Amino acid sequence: MDQSAARIAPQPPRRRHRVLRVLGTISGVLLLGVVALILLWDWDWFIPIVQNQASAAIGRRVTISHLHVHLGRNTTVAADNFVVANPDGFVSTYPLARIGRLTIVASVMDYISHRTIVLPSIALDHPDIRAIALPDGSNNFTLKLAPAKPGAKPSPPPQLGDLQITDGRAYVVDPRFKTNFAAGIATRPASGTEPSAIVVNAKGTYAAQPVTADFIGGALLSLRDARHPYPIDLHVANGPTKAALVGTVENPLNFAGARLKLSFSGPDMSQLYPLTGIPIPQTPPFSIAGNLDYAPPRIRFTNFEGRVGASDLGGNISGERRAGTRPDVIMDLVSKRVDLADLGGFIGTPAGKLNQTGGETAQQKQQAAAAKTSKKLFPDTKINLPKIRAADIHLKYTADHIENKFTPFDKLHVTMDIVDGRIALHPLDFVVGNGDIASVIELTPDPNDLVHANADVRFRHIELARLMQATHAFQGNGIIGGQARIDANGNSLASMMGQGNGELKLLLTSAGDVSALLVDIAGLEFGNALLSALGVPNRAKIDCADLDLPMRQGIVDVKEMLLDTEEARVTGRGTLDLRDQTMDMSLTTRSKHFSIGSLPGPINLTGAITSPSIRPGAEVAVRAGAAVGLGIVLTPLGALLPTVQFGVGKDDACPKAEATEKQPLHAPPASKRHAHK
C-alpha cells in the first residue's frame, strides 16, 4: 500500500465513537449547567450593576433590595425598596425618595428596532418623597444629571405610557420661604365616562400662610397624546388668597396649545407675590380672571377682567424668566373707572376705602383706622427694595375715568419701567379738564438702601373751575400753569420730602374769577362770607394769582403767595416744614374798597399741615374784641367802627407775577442737592 492510500484510509470505528462520547459529555454538562442556571438563577446578581448605572445617571446614590425581571417583547423589571439617598454631608433622618416597589415595563423590540426607549407602564407603590431645603439654601432635591458624552448623537426622549401611583406622599420644607406642607399623590383608574387621572391634595404652610391645594390632571399616557388635550384642574388657597387654573393643554411638556382659565381673588394683591414672583403694591380686595397660555418664550395672562376695590381692571400681562435672570414682565392695563383711593398702595398709603367692597383683612382695617387719625401728610411706609429688584417690569396703564369727588382729576396715563430696581415713570400724567399735570419721575436705589428721587412736574392749561369742583364749596374760572421740581433721597415718601430740594411755581392767568366765599373767609368778612355762602354775591374777578414755593432740605419757604381780585388782595407768608409735616403761615386780606365787617390783619395757620390751628393775629384779635365790647356798651352801629377798612388800591402785581413765572427754575446747589445720598 502506498503512502497516499494510507492517508485517505478511513479511521477505525473505535476512534469515532470516542469523539462522539466526548461531545455528548460536553453537551450533557452544558445542558445540565443551563438547567441548573435556570433553576438557580437570581436577578439580584445584577443589583450592583443597576445601582451603579442609576447612581451615575442622577449623581446620587441609589440602592435596591431585590430585583425581579420577566423577559418578553415587553419586559417587566421590578425593584423592591428603591431608595435615592441625600447628597453627601446632608443631614436628614429620611432619604430624598423611597419607593416600596418600582415596576417598569419596557418594549424590547422598540429599542432593538429604533433605539428608542418606550415604557408602556410605570408603577410606583407607596412612594415617599422628602424635598428639604436648609436655611443656607442647600437642598437634597437638586440632582446632578450625567452629561452627554462629547460628540455623541442625542438620544430621543423616552416615550412614557401609563403611570400608576399607589398611596404616594410628598413633603416639602423650605425655611427660607416659610414653607412646610405635605401632599398625597395617587392615580385614579378610569371608570365609566371618567378617564384615568392623577390626583394631588396638599396642605400645610406656604410663605408663612396656611395653604391647601387640590389638583386633578390627566393620566401620564395623555401627556404625549396630541389627539386628547391634557386636562388641568387646580385650586389653591394661600391664606385668604385664592387661585384657580382650569382647562386643557395640547402639549403639556412644552406648555403649548394651552386653553386655560386663570382666576385670582383675595384681600390684597401684594399677597400674590409668593405665587407669582411679581412685586405688587398693596391694594384693596380684588377678583380677576383671564386666559393663560404660552407664546415662546413668554407666559401670557390675556384678556383678563376684574375688580380692585371700587375700580375695574383689565388688560394683558406676559412674563419671561431665563436661567440666572430676573423675571421680565410686560403689563398693558386699563381701567374704565378708577377710584384713586384704590391706588394708594403705590405711594405707601392704605389702599382703598374701608368697607367699600368688604373682605378687608384685620391688618387693612387697622391701617385704615390709623391713617384716618394720623396727622401726617406724607406716608412713612418704607420702600421694599428687595421686592422692587425681584423683577423687571414694563407697565402701561390708562384710567379712562377717575371716580373721586375730592380730587379734580379726570383721567390717568402711566408709563413705568422698573429695571434692576430703578423706577422710571415717563410720564405720570393726570388729565384735568382740558389740561393736564404731566410728571417725569426717576427713583434710583443706592448702595445704602436709600432711593434718590428726581421729579419734574408740569401744570398745563389747568382750569380753575375743575379744581374748584373738588372743594364742593368754591367756584372759579381761569387757567393755571406752572411747574414743580424735586431732588431728594430717602426710603419713604415722607423721608424724601423731609430732605428734598426743589420748587413749586403756579400762576393763574386768562382773567379768571373766583367764588367770593374763598376771599371772604380768608379775610374773616363774616357778613359777606355768610351772604356768599348763600350765593350773594357769588363771584370776584381775579386780576392775578401767583404761588412760588422754593424748598431747601425739606423746608418750604412761601416766597410768593398772592390772590389779587377786584374785591381784595390775599397774601401769604411763612414756612412749611416737611421734616415734621408742620406749618407756620399767615394769610392777610386787604380790601380794595370801603368794607363793612372786615377784620384786616393776618390769619395765622400753625401746627400739623393736615389739621392746622387757625387763629386771628394780634391786630385782628384786638379789633374783634373791641367790636364785642362796643356792641355791648354802645350801639350796633358803633360796634362796626373798629371793623371799617378803606381800600388800599391796586398795583401792578400781575405783570410782576408773570415776569417771575417766566424765570426758569434754578436747581439747588450741588452741595445741598446730594447732601443725603
pLDDT digits (tens, 9 = 90+) for 227-262: 678 889 999 999 999 999 999 888 776 667 788 999
Cell 381701567 maps to which residue? 335
Determine the pLDDT at residue 432. 86
The strand pair at 179-188 and 197-206 is best described as antiparallel
pLDDT at 592 over 70: no
* CA dist., res. 578 & res. 484, Å (int): 16
pLDDT at 322 over 90: no
Structure confidence at residue 406 as a pLDDT band (50, 70, 90) = low
SS3 of the chain: helix, strand, coil, percent, to 5: 25, 45, 30
Determine the pLDDT at residue 366. 58
Structure confidence at residue 480 as a pLDDT band (50, 70, 90) = confident
Joined together, the cell numbers standing for residue 202 give 396638599
Structure confidence at residue 82 as a pLDDT band (50, 70, 90) = very high
- In terms of C-beta density within 10 A (0-12 exposed, 13-18 middle, 19 or more buried), how is residue 249 classed? buried
Backbone angles phi, psi at 671, to 5 degrees: -65, -35
pLDDT at 646 over 50: no
- In terms of C-beta density within 10 A (0-12 exposed, 13-18 middle, 19 or more buried), how is residue 568 classed? buried
Structure confidence at residue 624 as a pLDDT band (50, 70, 90) = very low
pLDDT at 418 over 70: yes
pLDDT at 125 over 80: yes
Q: How far is CA 471 from the centre of its chain?
A: 34
* CA dist., res. 263 & res. 207, Å (int): 20
Among 204-213, 426-435, 635-644, the range scoring the smallest mean pLDDT is: 635-644
pLDDT at 273 over 90: no
Amino acid in the structure at residue 118: V
Closest to 444 in 3D by CA, of 378, 379, 383: 383
* 654 SS3 class: helix
Determine the pLDDT at residue 434. 84
The strand pair at 328-335 and 392-399 is best described as parallel
- Taking phi over 0 as left and psi of -120 to 50 as alpha, with beta for the rest, 396 belongs to beta
Mean pLDDT of 31-58: 76
Is 225 within 8 Å of 250 (Cβ atoms)? no
Structure confidence at residue 526 as a pLDDT band (50, 70, 90) = low
pLDDT at 88 over 50: yes
Determine the pLDDT at residue 609. 80
pLDDT at 437 over 60: yes
Determine the pLDDT at residue 379. 74
Highest average pLDDT, of 283-292, 464-473, 629-638, comes from: 283-292
Domain extent listing, the chain: 43-141+156-225, 438-673
Is 181 within 8 Å of 211 (Cβ atoms)? yes
* CA dist., res. 318 & res. 323, Å (int): 17
pLDDT at 15 over 60: no
Highest average pLDDT, of 25-29, 152-156, 257-261, comes from: 257-261
DSSP category for residue 598: -
Higher-confidence residue of 375 and 508: namely 508
Higher-confidence residue of 602 and 30: namely 602
The CA distances from residue 375 to 349, 372, 580, in Å, are: 13, 8, 10
pLDDT at 345 over 80: no
Closest to 432 in 3D by CA, of 483, 503, 481, 505: 481
Within 10 angstroms of residue 418's Cβ, the number of other Cβ atoms is 21
Is 596 within 8 Å of 640 (Cβ atoms)? yes
pLDDT at 531 over 60: no
Mean pLDDT of 211-225: 79
* 323 SS3 class: coil
* CA dist., res. 636 & res. 627, Å (int): 9
Determine the pLDDT at residue 177. 86
Is 491 within 8 Å of 450 (Cβ atoms)? yes
Determine the pLDDT at residue 357. 52
H or E segment at 328? Answer: strand 328-335
* CA dist., res. 519 & res. 564, Å (int): 9
Closest to 258 in 3D by CA, of 292, 220, 224: 292
Determine the pLDDT at residue 257. 77
Determine the pLDDT at residue 566. 73
Is 427 within 8 Å of 455 (Cβ atoms)? no
Q: For a pLDDT cut of 90, what percent of the chain falls above it?
A: 28
The CA dihedral of 177, 178, 182, 187, to the nearest 10 degrees, is: -20
- Judge if the upstream peptide bond of residue 427 is cis by omega within 30 degrees of 0: yes
Closest to 282 in 3D by CA, of 295, 269, 292: 269
* CA dist., res. 472 & res. 468, Å (int): 7
Average pLDDT for the chain: 77
Cα dihedral 296, 298, 302, 304 sign = positive
* C-alpha count within 13 angstroms, C-beta hemisphere, residue 186: 7
Determine the pLDDT at residue 187. 92
Determine the pLDDT at residue 120. 86
Determine the pLDDT at residue 235. 97
Higher-confidence residue of 68 and 588: namely 68
Determine the pLDDT at residue 617. 58
Among 228-242, 431-445, 541-555, 593-607, the range scoring the smallest mean pLDDT is: 593-607
Determine the pLDDT at residue 634. 38
Cell 403639556 maps to which residue? 252
The CA distances from residue 34 to 23, 30, 38, 39, 550, in Å, are: 16, 6, 6, 8, 103
Determine the pLDDT at residue 629. 38
End-to-end CA separation in angstroms for the chain:
124
* CA dist., res. 322 & res. 42, Å (int): 49
Mean pLDDT of 359-370: 56
pLDDT at 327 over 90: no
H or E segment at 620? Answer: helix 618-633
Is 222 within 8 Å of 249 (Cβ atoms)? no
Determine the pLDDT at residue 121. 87
pLDDT at 505 over 50: yes
Determine the pLDDT at residue 23. 57
**Angle formed by the axes of helices 526-533 and 516-523, to 10°?**
150
Is 363 within 8 Å of 300 (Cβ atoms)? no
Is 132 within 8 Å of 117 (Cβ atoms)? no
- Taking phi over 0 as left and psi of -120 to 50 as alpha, with beta for the rest, 273 belongs to alpha
Mean pLDDT of 291-301: 88
DSSP category for residue 174: E
Higher-confidence residue of 671 and 78: namely 78
Joined together, the cell numbers standing for residue 595 give 368794607
Among 28-32, 200-204, 208-212, 516-520, the range scoring the smallest mean pLDDT is: 28-32
* CA dist., res. 504 & res. 547, Å (int): 8
Structure confidence at residue 491 as a pLDDT band (50, 70, 90) = confident
Q: Which ranges of 106-255 would DSSP assign to H, the alpha helix?
A: 108-114
Buried b or exposed e, range 619-630, using 16+ CB within 10 angstroms = ebeebbeebeeb
Joined together, the cell numbers standing for residue 86 give 441625600
pLDDT at 317 over 80: yes
Mean pLDDT of 408-429: 90
